[in-house]
Every structure is written in C-alpha cells, then in structure tokens.
Amino acid sequence: MDRGSIGQQFSETFTGATVGTSIDNLSMPCVAWRLTYYAENMAALSVQVEGAPDNNGAPGTWAIIPSTVIFGSNPLTDPNAGTLVVDDTAYYPWLRLNCTVFTPIGPSGTIKARVYGYKATLGRWVYAMLLN
C-alpha cells in the first residue's frame, strides 16, 4: 500500500463562524488528514476538523476528531496561519471543517483552508515530509 497516497482533498473559505461543507469519505476512505489554512485580518479564530458516522447516506452526529496529532492542534487557533496533521486509526465516513471562533480585525476577515486526506495511516515519518 502506498502510505502517502492522497485520497481526498477539498478547500473551504470562511468569512464568519460557520460549519463547512460535509465531505463524503465513503467512496474514497481516508484515515489520515492534513489541514493548512491562511487567515487575513483576523484577531482570533478557531478551526477544527470534525468527523461523523454515516446515517443512511447522510452525516450522523458531528464531533471533533480525537486523532493522534502529529503536528499542530485540533482545533487550530493561530490568527495568521496554521497546519494540523493527524494520523488516525479510526475511520470517519463524513468529514468537515468547523470555524467556531471568527473575530476579524476591523469589519471583515477571511480564512482559507485546504485539507488533504490520505488512504492509509501515515506514521510519524510524515511530520518531516509534509512540512517541508
């Protein structure tokens, strides 16, 4: 198995505290994830990766993914930029980003996030590979 094979990728742009799009992880299952974001004009923020079970083709109850964090934290809170790398042995049929805190400097701000999902657990070696 190619341990670095990307199975899913998606982007989100937040202009307020809101949940992102529900991502179907059923057809191309991933168990490890990397989230990178860049923020503009933000005083404070909190972005977290959440997973949910499948409920007859729809997401069940959402919860923050209690993963093995290789780099960063879940949630991420740096008001400028951040990266989270999780290597999880649990599979989540649905995934989303949730921006729970959004405090701009002035009248507006933006958070642009990109998520990559990997088909197999990555192990600690991914720390150096993904951050270079």
Predicted confidence at residue 61, as pLDDT, reads 97
Q: How far apart are CA 51 and CA 48, in angstroms?
A: 10
Average pLDDT score, the chain:
86
Quick check: 87 and 74 in contact, CB under 8 A? no
Q: Please spell the DSSP secondary structure of 41-75, one letter per residue.
A: SEEEEEEEEEEE-BSSSSB---EE---EEEES-SS
Rg (CA), the chain: 14
Show the tokens assigned to 97.
Answer: 């980003």
Q: Please tell me the pTM assigned to this model.
A: 0.86
Please tell me the predicted confidence (pLDDT) of residue 2: 43
- pLDDT lower than 50: segments of the chain: 1-3, 124-125, 127-128, 132
| Predicted pLDDT at 15 | 98
How far apart CA 25 and CA 35 sit, in angstroms, is 16
**pLDDT for the residue numbered 130:** 53
